[in-house]
Copies of this chain bind each other. A is one copy, B any other.
Amino acid sequence: MPFITLTTDFGEGSLYVAEMKGVILSIQPEARIIDITHSLPPQDIRQGAIALEQATPKFPVNSIHLAVVDPGVGTSRKIVYASIGRRHYIAPDNGLLGLLARRHAPSSIISLTDRSFWRDSVSNTFHGRDIMAPAAAHLAAGVSPSKLGEPLVQLAPLDWPELVCGHDRLVGEICTIDAFGNLITNIDREHLDVLGPPQNLSVTFRGQTIFRMASTYGDRAPGDLVALLGSSDRLEIAIVGGSARNALSAGIGERVVVLGRTNATPIGVSSGK
């Protein structure tokens, strides 16, 4: 029996999540449901895409991942099934699967149009419960994805801030913040590797320069601002033993620049700016 995971912006403890679980278990009582998160900022498709990319590949192949961040509920946006990286996804077609689809081209995309797999009564404001949850349950029960509707050629794109890559620098931004207040960027390991080994890289943020990336938080003293490669292989800015978000009042979208060691600037001495 495959797992069904849930990723939404409904809030932890939301009754809407409970309703979806009830609907799934009423169709397929053997389903094993795992919560990924319900703490996505309301209607924030980009944070949803980040969450799906970070968490779902850790689950067993054939897991069914149901994601609902759906500001367009009840309008003409489609609801889709997509097979990506040997996992099954069900989501509104609004970019939510965009980061996953950049990693692995979807091998199948279906628009969920067959009403026989919907809930008997479909509300205008809660398709997560009335269309997506039943689809996930039917998939778990062995229904072939192709039966759920009509094939689609491609998914709607995600609005995503692209990295700017110079010969000696990368310009990115804070793209998500975790509960510790660590600031996580869109600058990934592959791009950093091109610039040089981490201990040779400097990171500038808010006019401060952090010389040499650290390898873990404990490499620096409590209270120090550090830059390091986080557990999702992206550049992260943190305060050792504290919250960089709170200490710096930092927010999503702020610019971060990584500089390679292109000249003889002594490492470890701040330029004072």
Binding site for B on A (CB under 8 A): 3, 5, 10-16, 18-19, 21-23, 25-26, 29, 33-39, 42-43, 51, 54-60, 71-75, 123-126, 129-130, 178-180, 215-219, 228-231, 236, 241, 243
Q: Tell me the nearest residue of chain B to A39, going by C-beta.
A: B13
Copy total for this chain? 3
A218 touches which one: B75, B129, B130 (CB < 8 A)? B75
Q: Could you say which of A58, A71, A215 has the most chain B C-beta atoms within 10 Å of its C-beta?
A: A58
Q: How far is the CA of A55 from the CA of B42 in the complex (A)?
A: 21
Q: Is the CB of A217 within 8 A of B73?
A: yes
Q: How far is the CA of A20 from the CA of B194 in the complex (A)?
A: 30
Give the Cβ gap from A61 to chain B, nearest Cβ, in Å: 9
Q: Is the CB of A230 within 8 A of B51?
A: no
A55 touches which one: B22, B43, B54, B74 (CB < 8 A)? B22
Q: Tell me the nearest residue of chain B to A121, going by C-beta.
A: B233
Which residues of the other chain, B, contact A11 by a CB distance below 8 angstroms? Answer: 39, 178-180
Q: Do A215 and B36 contact each other (CB < 8 Å), given the known contacts A25-B59, A42-B180?
A: no
The list of the 5 closest CB pairs from A to B, nearest first, reads A74-B216, A22-B58, A11-B179, A13-B39, A126-B231
Q: Is the CB of A12 within 8 A of B26?
A: no
Q: Do A218 and B73 contact each other (CB < 8 Å), given the known contacts A26-B58, A43-B241?
A: yes
Which residues of the other chain, B, contact A3 by a CB distance below 8 angstroms? Answer: 25, 29
A42 touches which one: B13, B60, B179 (CB < 8 A)? B179
A51 touches which one: B15, B26, B54, B241 (CB < 8 A)? B15
Q: Is the CB of A241 within 8 A of B36?
A: no
Which residues of the other chain, B, contact A59 by a CB distance below 8 angstroms? Answer: 21-22, 25-26
Q: Do A36 and B15 contact each other (CB < 8 Å), given the known contacts A125-B230, A218-B73?
A: yes
Q: Is the CB of B215 within 8 A of A124?
A: yes
Which residues of the other chain, B, contact A218 by a CB distance below 8 angstroms? Answer: 71-75
